[in-house]
Every structure is written in C-alpha cells, then in structure tokens.
Amino acid sequence: MELVIRVKNITPSQALVLKTMFEDMEYLGKIGSSRYLAFMADGDGNFHPTVAFEIDEPLPDYDYQPLTESEREVWAHIYDEEHIPLEYKRQSVSKQREGECG
C-alpha cells in the first residue's frame, strides 16, 4: 500500500518537524522499536494546515467519532498536567464515555 500525504499552509519549521517525525517513524520501524511520537499542533497559533491524502487501495471501515468538548478538556488536562501516554488517554476517554470515571 502507498499513502501520499500533501500538507499545505505550513511554515518551513513546521515542515521540518513533520519530516523529522516521519523519519523517526521509519527509523523505529527499521530497528524494531516502539515509542510514542507526538506533534504539537498549535491551532490557536500559526498552525492551520490543509491536508490531502492519496491512497492506492481501499481502507477498512473505521468508526471515528470526533471528541466532544468535555472529552477534549480531559485530553488537554491529562496532556498538560500529567504527561500521560496517548494509550492511557484513549482508555480514559473511553471509560468516561461509558460513565466509569468522573
């Protein structure tokens, strides 16, 4: 499978960070290592990209539901205050949706 990603409306430094993130993904795959990678998207600053994808074969269905405002607040709090890994955040948001945490 091939995926082509076109990102417009970014600065040279944002392009460099994105390029580096993809290079890090490639490197980790080559050496067989697992890590969380993050990209700070400063949407209230100057990061307002437009993204287009070209994919050479169909993708499986994915039941994506954007986060609600309260879920975004949970993620922001966890990231800003506690620096907990992404997988934990996903589990916490899922539990909140199910009413398991306050």
Higher per-residue confidence, 78 vs 22: 22
SS3 string of 70-90? HHHHHHHHHHHHHCCCHHHHH
Report pTM.
Answer: 0.58
pLDDT the model gives residue 61 = 81
Band (pLDDT 50/70/90 cuts) for residue 102 is very low
**Phi, psi (5° rounding) for residue 54?**
-120, 120
Under the banding of pLDDT at 50, 70 and 90, the label for residue 34 is: confident
